[in-house]
Amino acid sequence: MSIPLHSGEPHTAGIAGRLNWLRAGVLGANDGIISVAAIVVGVAGATNQIAPIFTAGSAALVGGAISMALGEYVSVSSQSDSEKALIAKETRELEEMPEEELAELASIYQSRGLSPETARRVAQELTAHDALAAHLSAELNIDREDLISPWQAAFASAVAFTVGGVIPFAAILLPPDIRILATFLLVLITLALTGALGARLGGSPVLRPTLRVVVGGALALLATFGIGTLLGTGIS
């Protein structure tokens, strides 16, 4: 008899991983929005000339995307190398001492509340089905079919940053009399939307996380605009 699944819970294989990717994408987009917006607003505070604003925005967009991609690649590569080493170690132990590994698996389930007899039976049935998968899941919380690719992570991070960064970059290229206000408004509205989306994906209340990201973004814009205005006045 099949058991109905509760809606909203990640029972399906890969759902939790995809939600994590979505949350990471939202965070990457937020980084792009705030980073690029802070730079172009700061330069726009110093000068109305479009050339330096465009140059700074382009550099922020490209440099930020590459930096995000490199950081994600290095981080995920380290995680992936560690997971592969653990998988190889577990595979070797199952080949060399299967009985000890079976006893270890049974003890894990016993520590989670099963009786010794039930724990032993569960361990035996899981071992018969897929011993390596059972040990990786119970001991290490690893799914060897769902290992993160460093290249995919780097690409996703770069794309998310770029998508977010394009928004303030496009707004700051508007005519001088509206570009600052338009960039502020567009950035804060976008941050509110991404903040709310990130909160929904994380299953948390929407208001507080949204306010945090909007207030943080507003402070960043005000700070860089103020610095750009002061430096622009001093230089002129």
Whole-angstrom distance, CA of residue 213 vs CA of residue 206: 11
Q: Indicate the angle between helix axes 176-202 and 15-46, nearest 10 degrees.
A: 160
Band of residue 235 on the pLDDT scale cut at 50, 70, 90: low
Whole-angstrom distance, CA of residue 41 vs CA of residue 45: 6
pLDDT value of residue 3? 43
CB 179, CB 199: distance < 8 Å: no
Host H or E run for residue 121:
helix 116-135
Whole-angstrom distance, CA of residue 91 vs CA of residue 105: 14
The b-or-e profile of 93-110 (16+ CB within 10 A means b, else e) is ebeeeeeebbeebbebbb
pLDDT digits (tens, 9 = 90+) for 118-131: 988 988 898 888 88
Q: Quote the Cα angle for 161-232-169, to 5°.
A: 20
Band of residue 4 on the pLDDT scale cut at 50, 70, 90: very low
pLDDT digits (tens, 9 = 90+) for 156-199: 889 999 999 999 999 999 999 999 999 999 999 999 998 888 88
Band of residue 10 on the pLDDT scale cut at 50, 70, 90: very low
Percent of the chain with pLDDT over 90: 42
Whole-angstrom distance, CA of residue 132 vs CA of residue 18: 24
pLDDT digits (tens, 9 = 90+) for 69-111: 999 899 889 988 888 888 899 889 889 998 898 888 899 988 8
pTM, two decimal places: 0.76
Average pLDDT over residues 19-30: 75
Q: The dihedral of CA 124, 129, 135, 137: what is its sign?
A: negative
From residue 32, how far is each of 25, 80, 99, 176, 199 by CA, in Å?
Answer: 11, 26, 52, 23, 18
